[in-house]
Amino acid sequence: LDDEVNAPAGLLDDEVNALAGLLDEAALAGRAVPRLTGTADLGVPAAYQVQRATIERRLARGERVIGVKMGFTSRAKMVQMGVDDVIWGLLTDAMLVRNDLDTAGLIHPRIEPEIAFLLERPVRTPADAAAAVGGVAVGYEVLDSRYEGFSFTLADVIADNASACGFGHGPWHRPRDVANLGLLMEIDGRPVASGSSAAILGDPLRSLTAAARLASAAGIELQPGWVVLAGAATAAVPLPAGAHVRVAAAGLGHVEVTTR
Ligand code: OOG
């Protein structure tokens, strides 16, 4: 009864854990599942509970949270995915890609260019965000929706940790204005996406502030050493095996990844 009274969004702990288990097992098996909202009455608050439970399963396997990712912070992504609210997810150390990525166990991976922030101080409130930045870098995010057809509602994608799968970043640079940097992503030397960091809420720093707001509402303090991915400036593109991807941002250099 206590559980029932305390469950904020109408889902019992057992239901949250069962839905999280479906998504986590889909990720581990590399096999897509139907949208949760096809059968479960999932609102946004309950979806974040499911997301948190998927992260708990990763932590139980020894992973560590090392940052957060923002989603739908640009029109290009909202239009691509048909969703129009800013969301967030958590990044773990197992998601950090160094030089190459094995796509064999993934479902239908996509890649997108990102601006990344490195925090050097804890962020307790949105007002702390800008001063907490110790570095900025060009980055990329690999998305792999656990849903069939890479298709979902807002609540579904929140539960699925905002499609987070992997990420990487180039060398850290001292904090600087990143409001209007040209971004270019190439696969095997061919340009596949280009845009400006201004597409990210007008300035990626606003995305960091939004991350701080969402985190503080969820009772999570952003930690020193954490990475914050501000969200893509362009649509995501399919990421095949055997590809060489290069993402560059004006003034921030580039980052590369090879897939197997
Ligand atoms: C959801 C994640 C969106 C972004 O940068 O907007 C996202 C998805 O498109 O699968 O990470």
pLDDT 10s digit of each residue in the chain, 260 long? 444 444 445 689 999 999 999 999 999 999 999 999 999 999 999 999 999 999 999 999 999 999 999 999 999 999 999 998 899 999 999 999 998 999 999 999 999 999 999 999 999 999 999 999 999 999 999 999 999 999 999 999 999 999 999 999 999 999 999 999 999 999 999 999 999 999 999 999 999 999 999 999 999 999 999 999 999 999 999 999 999 999 999 999 999 999 99
For the purposes of burial, counting CB atoms within 10 Å of the CB of 220, is it exposed (0-12), middle (13-18) or buried (19 or more)?
A: middle
Task: Compute the distance from residue 252 Cα to the ligand 1 centre, in Å.
Answer: 22
**Mean pLDDT rounded to a whole number for the chain:** 95
Give the domain ranges of the chain: 63-259
The pLDDT, as a whole number, for residue 84 is: 83
Return the beta strands (E) in the chain as ranges.
Answer: 65-71, 87-92, 100-101, 110-119, 133-143, 164-169, 182-187, 190-196, 227-229, 237-238, 244-249, 253-259
Strands 100-101 and 253-259: parallel
- CB-CB contact of 236 with 163 (8 Å): no
CATH superfamily of the 63-259 domain: Fumarylacetoacetase-like, C-terminal domain (3.90.850.10)
Query: Among the atoms of ligand 1, which is closest to the Cα of residue 112?
Result: 5
The pLDDT, as a whole number, for residue 82 is: 92
- CB-CB contact of 148 with 121 (8 Å): no
ipTM of this model? 0.96
Query: Among the atoms of ligand 1, which is closest to the Cα of residue 141?
Result: 11
Instruction: Quickly list DSSP for 24-52.
Output: HHHHHHT--B--GGGTS---HHHHHHHHH
The pLDDT, as a whole number, for residue 7 is: 44
Task: Compute the distance from residue 83 Cα to the ligand 1 centre, in Å.
Answer: 10
- State how far the Cα of 14 lies from the Cα of 74, in Å rounded to an integer: 35
Q: Which of 79, 95, 143, 151 to mutate to test the pocket of ligand 1 (most atoms within 8 A of CB)?
A: 143
Q: Which residue puts its alpha carbon closest to atom 10 of ligand 1? A: 163
Task: Compute the distance from residue 164 Cα to the ligand 1 centre, in Å.
Answer: 8
* Radius of gyration in angstroms for the set of CA atoms belonging to the chain, rounded to a whole number: 17
Task: Compute the distance from residue 88 Cα to the ligand 1 centre, in Å.
Answer: 9
> Three-state SS for 132?
helix
Q: Which residue puts its alpha carbon closest to atom 3 of ligand 1? A: 71
Q: List ligand 1's pocket residues with C-beta within 6 A.
A: 69, 71-73, 77, 81, 112, 141, 143, 145, 157, 162-163, 231-232
Give 147-190 pLDDT, tens digit per residue. 999 999 999 999 999 999 999 999 999 999 999 999 999 999 99
